[in-house]
Structure formats: structure tokens, C-alpha cells
Amino acid sequence: MALNFSVFRTRALTALIFAAVMLTGLLWNFWSFFVLFSIIHFGCWIEYQKLIGRMDPGYAQITIVHKYGAMIAGWCLMFFLTGDSYRIMNVPLHQIGHWAGLVIIISIPILEIIFWQKVNFKYLAISFLGLVYLSLSFALLTNLRSRFDSEFAGDLIGKMFVMLIVASIWINDTMAYLVGSFIGKTPLTKISPKKTWEGTIGGILLSIIVIGIIGYFTNADHDWQSIAQLMIIACIASVAGTFGDLLESKLKRMADVKDSGHIMPGHGGFLDRFDSLLIATPFVWLCIILFMK
């Protein structure tokens, strides 16, 4: 697959703007992070519902209560997995998420029965899958961002873990594209014909190496155990992120669309940009909570 410089230039320019917005939201403070990923969360939900609606036209006709109730229930999950230190009018966000989420989930089928005299459990199940696929991932990312706050380190550790996941995916995506463009010859899968084994393996290895190098030069003590942990997270994020990319490609093929949306020239929509993050986050979260906390 030869490198298309015109496409690469468009992707690069868009990526610079995207990176500036992302870094501002990620690094400014918790609230900028939460607002940023709330917008991304709703953007992904809108595109998910459109994709499913193209696969099953009946889902495109779900009630307004179901459509927006599912999105807001997922947003409540993001509230629920925040730490105790984050509050609105002295009420912890996780309590707001807990009670509001329960009310919404219970209300959706009840309101459908009252106002539309029907409940389609098949479509409720599809929306539940959306909660797992989309909302749970963003909620776990929010949890990583907030759970490590401390009197001494502030929110530095939470920022580091989130940046590590995002950086690993960005490096993997970029390097996989470049390596695949120059030396890629062996197709990876029919789901995504442009992906090659050479690009995929090269992207994963280079992501691990780059994160290891960054870890070495930012670790004053050159603690090899800490550097190894960073490289393990980079490996998990890169591998799981690749599967996330393939999963979204499969959904698009089933919906018969090229991109999930058109918000970013050269990059497509929200799902196109964050598909890797959606699958990588739960696996990295498990690794950190079980083995590195």
C-alpha cells in the first residue's frame, strides 16, 4: 500500500487540531476532561445509533425516550465512576450518576408502555450493548482520571494513565499507517482490506518502544520496573486498540458506510477516531486495577 501524501497531509493537519483540543481537555483539569469526553460520548452514541439503524431500519424508529434515554443513562455511568472529591453543589457526582441512572433505566420501558403502548426488548438489548461498548469504556477512563487523586500527587497519576492510553493508541495508529504504507504487503483481514500484518505488528512494536523511551527519559531514577509497566500498558492498549478498530470497521461494513461520521476531514466521525480507545480502555483499566494499583 503506497503512501498517499495528499491524504496523509489532510490527516496530519486535522490531527494537529484534534491533538490540541484533546490535550487541552485532558490536561487542564478534571472538569475540562469530563466535558471533553461527555461530548465525545454523545457523539459516539449518535453515530452508533445511526449505524445500527442502517443495519436494522426498525431501530432507527425507536422512541425519543429510548433514543436519548440510553445516551443519558450512559452519561450517568460516567458520573457514577468518578471519585468522591468531585461534586456539584456538594453532592458527589457518583451519587448523581447512581440515582439518575437507575431512574432513567427504569423509566424508559415504563414511558414507552404509557405513551406508545409497546416495548421492543430486542432494541433495548441493542442499546444495552451500546452502554457496554461505548459508555462503560468512557466511564472507566473517567474512573482512571479521578480515582488516583491524592493529597500529595493531586491528579497527576490519573492524568498520566489516561495520557498513556491515548498516546499508545496514537503512536500505534500513526506507525501502523506509515509502516503499512511503506512495506505492508500481507493483508491482515477482509474486514479492513488496507490493513497489513506488517503495519499492524510494526505499529504495536513501535508504540511499545516509543513509550519505553519516553518512560526512561521521564523517570529520574530509571526504575526499570516502572518503565516495564508503562511498556506493558502500551502493548495492551495497542493490541486491544487494533481489535477496537477492526470491530468498528466490521460495524461499518454491516451498515454499508465508509465512515461513521464526517466531523474530521481525513478521520471520519467520533467512532472512527475513538474506536481503538473504546476497546483498549477496559483492558488497560483491568491491568492497572489488578496489578499496578
For 193-250, the pLDDT digits (tens) are 889 999 999 999 999 999 999 999 887 677 788 899 999 999 999 999 999 999 999 9
Q: Does residue 99 have a pLDDT over 70?
A: yes
Q: How far apart are CA 25 and CA 110, in angstroms?
A: 37
C-alpha grid cell for residue 15?
Answer: 490531527
Residues 278, 283, 284, 287: what is their CA dihedral angle, to the nearest 10 degrees? 170
C-alpha grid cell for residue 173?
Answer: 495508529
Predicted confidence at residue 225, as pLDDT, reads 87
Q: Does residue 279 have a pLDDT over 70?
A: yes
Q: What are the domain boundaries of the chain?
A: 5-292
Q: How far apart are CA 165 and CA 285, in angstroms?
A: 10
Q: How far apart are CA 118 and CA 124, in angstroms?
A: 12
Q: How far apart are CA 168 and CA 160, in angstroms?
A: 12
Task: Tell me the pLDDT band of 110, cut-offs 50, 70 and 90.
Answer: very high
Task: Tell me the pLDDT band of 152, cut-offs 50, 70 and 90.
Answer: very low
C-alpha grid cell for residue 57?
Answer: 431500519
- Residues contacting residue 235 through CB under 8 Å, at least 6 positions apart: 204, 207, 208
Helices (H), 28-86: 30-55, 64-80
Strand 87-88 versus strand 187-189 pairing type: unpaired
Mean pLDDT confidence for 167-193:
91
DSSP state string for 180-210:
HHHH--SEEETTEEEEEHHHHHHHHHHHHHH
Q: 177 and 198 in contact (C-beta within 8 Å)?
A: no
Q: How far apart are CA 27 and CA 155, in angstroms?
A: 10
Q: How far apart are CA 95 and CA 163, in angstroms?
A: 27
Q: 6 or 205, which is more confident?
A: 205
**Locus of grid cell 490540541:** 20
Q: Does residue 95 have a pLDDT over 70?
A: yes
Predicted confidence at residue 151, as pLDDT, reads 45
Distance of CA 45 to the CA centre of its chain: 12
pLDDT digits (tens, 9 = 90+) for 31-88: 999 999 999 999 999 999 999 999 999 999 999 999 999 999 999 999 999 977 788 8
Q: How far apart are CA 53 and CA 49, in angstroms?
A: 6
**Locus of grid cell 497519576:** 157
Q: 262 or 25, which is more confident?
A: 25
Task: Tell me the pLDDT band of 11, cut-offs 50, 70 and 90.
Answer: low
Q: Does residue 1 have a pLDDT over 70?
A: no
Q: 202 or 267, which is more confident?
A: 202
Predicted confidence at residue 266, as pLDDT, reads 60
